[in-house]
Chains A and B, each alone.
Chain A
Amino acid sequence: MVRAVTTQRKALNTAIAWTVGLLIFFPILWTILTSFKTEAQAIADPPIFLFFDWTLENYAVVQERSNYMRFLWNSVFIAGGSTILGVIIAVPAAWSMAFVPSKRTKDILLWMLSTKMLPAVGVLYPIYLIFIKLGILDSRIGLTVVLMLINLPIIVWMLYTYFKEIPGEILEAARMDGASLRNEILYVLTPMAIPGIASTLLLNFILAWNEAFWTLNLTAAQAAPLTAFIASYSSPEGLFFAKLSAASTMAIAPILILGWFSQKQLVRGLTFGAVK
């Protein structure tokens, strides 16, 4: 039996949900609002919420001072590249773990995930040295590979859970029908797992887009993505809140819009295939 929910109760729940939602969203909203204020209004005490002289001046200054499009292109390249590269490696890996597991498969999965528990700064030094030796410091390719490796455990885990939902008999049928391993993955497994692969792509694109530790430490001018763009407006320039907010807004806008249009896929991705 479905539990009876009174109208009052529903209204209360809705109010609570909205309050929590707005609380979480408030810092982003405040950043966006601040980006339209003058520097003086941005640090006014008491703070001004909505009634100020709206201005686009900060955006003009930010665009004039640094080339937004270059940072944006770097972000797209690094996030997109690392995600696609990761999926190409993870699909066969997840296939073997889901459909031909060995005794150690579970251990390997856990071990892979455990690498995510390591503080990134712990391997900064060796990776930095490797980058110098290979001459890929401040290069898009180098950063793409590092971000791919960092997100690979999550990609494999997600694909593994999606693949587990696909009945093994269908893949056996493909084998009986004469499909080689490559064709089995290409024509049967992948099309059936499209929703799962899409949410994996999306989530990892966002993770790579937002990644700040490696992008800040391994780039200077050439390969710097939007995270570095924001950072360049913080400490060294002093307290230019309005300009910093404008830069932040420009940096998060693409991913915010992408996230908004793909909410459904994203929720499925975040629940790791547990909710159908």
Chain B
Amino acid sequence: MGRIQLKQVQKKFGDVEVIPPLDLEIDDGEFVVFVGPSGCGKSTLLRLIAGLEDATAGHIEIDGDDATMLPPAKRGLAMVFQSYALYPHMSVRKNIAFPMRMAKIPQDEQNRRIEAAAKALNLTDYLDRRPGQLSGGQRQRVAIGRAIVREPAAFLFDEPLSNLDAALRVGMRMEISELHKKLATTMVYVTHDQVEAMTMADKIVVLQAGVIEQVGSPLELYRAPRNLFVAGFIGSPKMNLIDGPEAAKHNAQTIGIRPEHIDVSTTEGAWQGTVGVAEHLGSDTFIHIHGIPGCDPMTVRAGGEVLVNHGDTVYLTPRAEQIHRFDAQGLRIG
């Protein structure tokens, strides 16, 4: 079981309120991702759940029991840190065994779990090495192994992939997702990378300045962002936001249209602009277009075969049903 509830949880560092009182529910077995820009309080929120920081006010419940005052060791949660935080003086085997040693689990049971974790994480050949002799990806796997063997109520991940190179990151992303499918244990995952959030999460929590901007499934957030912040944060490349007369036509202060929801033509369309930079990725082309009133530059995603050059005149047409409307407060209309 791993149901986590935050009730009016608040965190202050001195006089600075990092997290104003907030409520959040994480269901058993869910993969929840906290996402937001640096300094938005997502790591602090995770550390509050872990017990590494004390809440200034409010309650944290784990499986219905009040855990607000419990030390980290007593909460039954396991954490994977950004820096891996392996014990450098212990072998991989001892690192993985450490939480079981602390829990005084019998030696043969410890060995069984170590072997199983090592097999699942491809670490069998490395059990007698020290962390210093492993690559970044292997270290991350050891950190995950150390978390798995505890059989925790929930896993907490604090930006676990940000120290890895791009290729490895994609691989580890898949491994963690698969692990979640296999274990069906609650996972709370912190990242600033919205691609990680979109690809891994059952539920995304978007944070800004300690405030939850929106909670929902990846596609809910993509299809119906609650406000301008979420609209700009979720989706890659970012949603185009248009102010002024063009927005007024749709009875809105601001309208948003995603790059993939705009059709490009060289002959006719709603808006006329000139091509700035075109990024050819092979599968797609991202074209940055200047001269559209209220939005400069506008980014458009076109097919990989589209050939346009700097300075060409193009015409753009947004798909009407994909236009997002926002009011003067930046909140979604309709």
Contact B87 A176 (CB under 8 A): no
Out of A169, A175, A194, name the residue touching B72 (CB < 8 Å): A175
Per the 8 Å Cβ criterion, residues 165-179 of A in contact with B are 167, 169-170, 172-179
From DSSP, what is the main secondary structure of chain B's interface residues?
A: loop
Interface assignment of A254: CB less than 8 Å from any CB of chain B: no
CB pair B52 A178 closer than 8 Å: no
Count of interface residues, chain B, beta-carbon cutoff 8 Å: 23
Bits for B99-127, please: 1 = Cβ < 8 Å to A, else 0.
Answer: 10011000000000000000000000000
Residues of B within 8 A of A188 (CB): 87
Query: Quick one: given A173-B79, A175-B52, are A192 and B88 in contact (CB under 8 Å)?
Result: yes
Q: Does the CB pair A172–B89 fall under 8 Å?
A: no
Known: A178-B73, A178-B150. A173 touches B102 (CB 8 A): no
Judge whether B50 and A176 touch: CB under 8 Å. yes
Contact of A170 among B50, B85, B99, B150 (CB under 8 A): B85
Cα A179 to Cα B51 with chains together (Å): 13
* Inter-chain contact B77/A170, CB cutoff 8 Å: no
Tell me the interface secondary structure of chain A in the complex. Answer: helix
Please state if A176 and B73 are interface contacts (CB–CB under 8 Å).
yes
Residue of B50, B73, B87, B88 touching A180 (CB-CB under 8 A): B73
B217 contacts partner chain A, Cβ-Cβ < 8 Å? no
Known: A177-B99, A177-B150. Is A172-B73 also a contact (CB below 8 A)? no
Most chain A CB atoms below 10 A, which of B78, B85, B150: B85
Task: Decide if B91 is an interface residue (CB 8 Å cutoff).
Answer: no
For the complex, count residues of A whose C-beta is within 8 A of B: 18
Q: How far, in whole Å, are A167 and B87 apart by their CA atoms in the complex?
A: 11
Given the complex of chains A and B, what is the CA–CA distance between A174 and B50 in angstroms?
12
Known: A167-B83, A169-B81, A169-B83. A179 touches B89 (CB 8 A): no
Knowing A183-B102, A192-B88 touch, does A176 contact B83 (C-beta < 8 A)? Answer: no
Q: How many angstroms between the C-alpha atoms of A178 and B66 in the bound complex?
A: 18
Selected contact of A177 from candidates B51, B71, B89, B102, CB within 8 Å? B102
Q: How far is the CB of A63 from chain B (nearest CB, A)?
A: 45
**Nearest CB in chain A to that of B143: its residue:** A173
> Does B73 lie within 8 Å of A167, measured CB to CB?
no
Within 8 A of A (CB), among B39-77: 50-52, 71-73, 77
- Shortest C-beta distance, A95 to chain B (Å), equals 16
**Is the CB of A101 closer than 8 A to any CB of chain B?**
no
Can you list the 10 inter-chain pairs with the closest CB atoms, starting with the nearest?
A: A177-B99, A173-B85, A178-B102, A169-B85, A178-B73, A176-B79, A175-B72, A191-B89, A170-B85, A169-B81
Q: Are B102 and A176 in contact (CB under 8 A)?
A: no
Nearest B-chain residue to A172, judged by Cβ: B52
Which of A175, A176, A188: most chain B Cβ within 10 A?
Answer: A176
Q: Which residues does chain A contribute within 8 Å of B229, judged by CB atoms?
A: none
Given A169-B83, A169-B85, A170-B85, verify A176-B98 contact (CB < 8 Å): no
Q: Cβ of B73 and Cβ of A175 under 8 Å apart?
A: yes
Q: Does B288 contact A (CB under 8 A)?
A: no
Q: List A contacts of B325 (CB < 8 A).
A: none
Least Cβ–Cβ distance between A41 and chain B, in angstroms = 55
**Would you give 24 A-B contacts (Cβ < 8 Å), ordered by A?**
A169-B81, A169-B83, A170-B85, A170-B86, A170-B87, A172-B52, A172-B72, A173-B85, A173-B87, A173-B146, A174-B87, A176-B78, A177-B78, A178-B73, A178-B103, A178-B150, A179-B73, A179-B98, A179-B102, A180-B102, A183-B102, A187-B98, A188-B87, A192-B89
- Chain A, 92-113, CB within 8 A of any chain B CB: none
Given A167-B83, A169-B83, A183-B102, the answer on whether A176 and B77 have CB atoms closer than 8 Å is yes
